């Protein structure tokens, strides 16, 4: 019995080593599983991304043509105003005093004109009968004409001062909303060389535009009327829509990067968009509905040596590919056939196939080596991490 104990221990050790090798070190049988599926019909687009800011379509800067001190302000930020509404008034004391002074001078000049006209009429009669010389007549005529010119000059000054007095009242030129107020009561404004801006008024905040900065590498793909979608940080879950209105030809250069201002028109009926908001823009330069789509990674797939044991390979004999052509591999039973296809839009997830592939053919997008158990599991369930292919029922976002 004592002699059997070492024998039993040796047997146990051998069995443990064998089990460790079988379950831990033995090379498990593997099988290569293809990621292959039929192409589907769906929506695909080619787009350009950019950033921009929201601006009102039409903004008017309201200023003053005369200098003075702000006496009254009748509107403030966000005030809704009508065309012709009084916004502010300058102190009119000096304007009224100057107008009255000129009116006094005008009255004096008018009186002088009446006197000189009577004098000229008398001198004219005397000159007719030869009672005075030609020099006396010419002097009377000159004095009368000078009085008339003085009245005309002072009349123009009165009109000018009346205009200045009217300009001391600031009226709204349009219907709109006050975006900014740059003055306060008691502040002095000077309009000697340039017109100071007192208010900024947006004409209609239900219609906005986005000023996007598009890189010079992308501007060639953009045309007027193309569809645009964008988001703003204030409403990250809302997608706003618009269309390209114009591409301004004046470039902007910053850090050796050339961009072009592109104007996007959009509706703002719910007033969510505020002037100055930053936008993330997507411009759809090309869109296709019901396109024949395959995974983009199918263009990069090439069978390796592990597939030679399981499949017969039939490569395409032509090697030269012109622009717009690509090679893919199609599975037919136990054979992998390389085919040349003509491609269109590539959004890096899916590729549009224009020619060379049928709807019922099975396209290989990749391959993975799995153990027998994992291969059986993957055959029965799809990976939840694979991107979903757009279908015919997908709607444009």
Q: What CATH number is associated with residue 99?
A: 1.10.287.470
Q: What is the CATH number of the domain that holds 235?
A: 2.40.30.170
Residue 385 belongs to some domain of the structure: no
Q: Are residues 319 and 340 in the same domain?
A: yes
Bridge pairing between strands 362-371 and 325-332: antiparallel
**Could you tell me if residue 294 is inside a domain?**
yes
Are residues 248 and 276 both part of a single domain? yes
Q: Is the pLDDT of residue 336 over 60?
A: yes
120 and 141 in a single domain? The answer is yes
pLDDT reading at 300 higher than 60: yes
Q: What is the pLDDT confidence band of residue 3, given thresholds at 50, 70 and 90?
A: low
Predicted local distance difference test score (pLDDT) of residue 33:
81
Q: Which domain-ending residue is among 184, 203, 222? A: 203
In this predicted structure, the answer to whether residue 386 has a pLDDT above a threshold of 50 is no
Q: Is 258 inside a domain boundary?
A: yes
| Full residue range of the structural domain in which residue 187 is found | 66-91+169-203
Domain shared by 212 and 322, yes or no: no
Residues contacting 225, CB < 8 A, separation 6+: 243, 244
What Rg do the C-alpha atoms of the chain give, in angstroms?
44
Q: Tens of pLDDT along 137-161?
A: 999 999 999 999 999 999 999 999 9
pLDDT confidence band for 368 (50 / 70 / 90): confident
Domain finish residue from 256, 288, 320:
288
Higher pLDDT, 114 or 393: 114
pLDDT at 382: 46
**Residue 80: is its pLDDT beyond 90?**
yes
**For residues 50-59, average pLDDT:** 94
Give yes or no for a contact between 158 and 106, defined as CB atoms under 8 angstroms apart: yes
> How many residues in total does the chain contain?
397
Which has more pLDDT, 87 or 312? 87
pLDDT digits (tens, 9 = 90+) for 224-277: 999 999 999 999 999 999 999 999 999 999 889 999 999 999 999 999 999 999
Q: What is the average per-residue pLDDT within 192-213? A: 89
Query: Is 83 inside a domain boundary?
Result: yes
- Are 163 and 187 part of one and the same domain? no
Structure tokens given for 178:
């006050």
Q: Is residue 21 part of a domain?
A: no
Residue 6 lies in a domain: no
pLDDT score of 51 more than 70 = yes
Shared-domain flag, residues 179 and 242? no
**Can you tell me the mean pLDDT for 23-39?**
71
CATH of the domain at 80: 2.40.50.100
Q: What is the pLDDT of residue 324?
A: 85
Q: What is the predicted pLDDT for the residue at 194?
A: 74
- Of 288, 316, 340, which residue sits at a domain end? 288
Q: Output the DSSP codes for 44-104.
A: EEEEEEEEEEEEES-EEEEE-SS-EEEEEE---TT-EE-TT-EEEEE--HHHHHHHHHHHH
In a domain, 231, yes or no: yes
Are 85 and 118 in the same domain? no
Q: Per-residue pLDDT averaged across 379-388, rounded? A: 46
For residues 206-223, average pLDDT? 94
Number of domains in the chain: 4
* Whether residue 87 sits in one domain with residue 174: yes
Using a pLDDT cut of 90, give the percent of the chain over it.
71
Q: What pLDDT was estimated at residue 315?
A: 86
317 and 268 together in one domain: no
Helices (H), 222-360: 305-308
Asked if residue 102 belongs to a domain, the reply is yes
Q: Are residues 349 and 371 in the same domain?
A: yes
Is residue 239 within 8 Å of residue 217, measured between CB atoms? no
Q: Which two tokens stand for residue 139?
A: 């002097």
pLDDT for the residue 167: 93
Q: 77 and 187: one domain? A: yes
- 256 with 280, same domain: the answer is yes
């Amino acid at each position: 019995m004592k002699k059997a104990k070492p024998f039993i221990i040796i047997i146990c050790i051998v069995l443990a080593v064998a089990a460790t090798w079988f379950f831990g070190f033995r090379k498990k049988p593997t099988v290569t599983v293809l990621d292959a599926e039929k192409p589907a019909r769906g929506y695909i687009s080619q787009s350009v991304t950019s950033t921009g800011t929201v601006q009102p379509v039409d903004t008017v800067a309201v200023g003053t043509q005369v200098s003075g001190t702000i006496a009254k302000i009748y509107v403030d930020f966000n005030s809704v105003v009508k065309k012709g509404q009084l916004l502010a008034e300058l102190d009119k004391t000096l304007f009224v005093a100057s107008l009255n002074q000129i009116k006094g001078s005008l009255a004096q000049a008018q009186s002088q004109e009446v006197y000189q006209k009577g004098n000229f009429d008398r001198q004219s009669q005397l000159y007719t009968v030869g009672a005075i010389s030609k020099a006396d007549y010419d002097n009377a005529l000159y004095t009368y004409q000078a009085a008339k010119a003085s009245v005309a000059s002072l009349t123009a000054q009165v009109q000018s001062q009346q205009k200045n007095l009217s300009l001391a009242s600031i009226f709204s030129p349009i219907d709109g909303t006050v975006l900014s107020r740059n003055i306060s009561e008691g502040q002095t404004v000077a309009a000697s060389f340039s017109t100071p801006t007192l208010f900024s008024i947006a004409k209609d905040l239900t219609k906005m535009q986005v000023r996007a900065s598009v890189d010079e590498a992308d501007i060639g793909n953009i045309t007027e009327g193309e569809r645009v979608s964008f988001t703003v940080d204030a409403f990250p879950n809302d997608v706003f829509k618009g269309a390209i209105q114009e591409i301004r030809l004046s470039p902007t250069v910053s850090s050796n990067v050339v961009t072009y201002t592109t104007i996007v028109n959009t509706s703002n009926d719910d007033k969510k968009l505020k002037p100055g908001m930053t936008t993330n823009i997507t411009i759809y330069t090309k869109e296709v509905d019901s396109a024949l789509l395959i995974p983009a990674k199918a263009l990069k797939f090439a069978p390796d040596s592990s597939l030679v044991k399981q499949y017969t390979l039939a490569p395409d004999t032509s090697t030269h590919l012109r622009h717009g052509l690509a090679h893919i591999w199609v599975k037919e039973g136990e054979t992998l056939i390389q085919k040349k296809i003509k491609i269109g839009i590539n959004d890096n997830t899916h590729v549009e196939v224009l020619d060379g592939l049928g709807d019922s053919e099975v396209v290989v997008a990749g391959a993975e080596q799995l153990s027998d158990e994992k291969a059986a599991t993957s055959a029965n369930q799809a990976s939840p991490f694979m991107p979903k292919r757009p279908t015919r029922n997908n709607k444009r976002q």
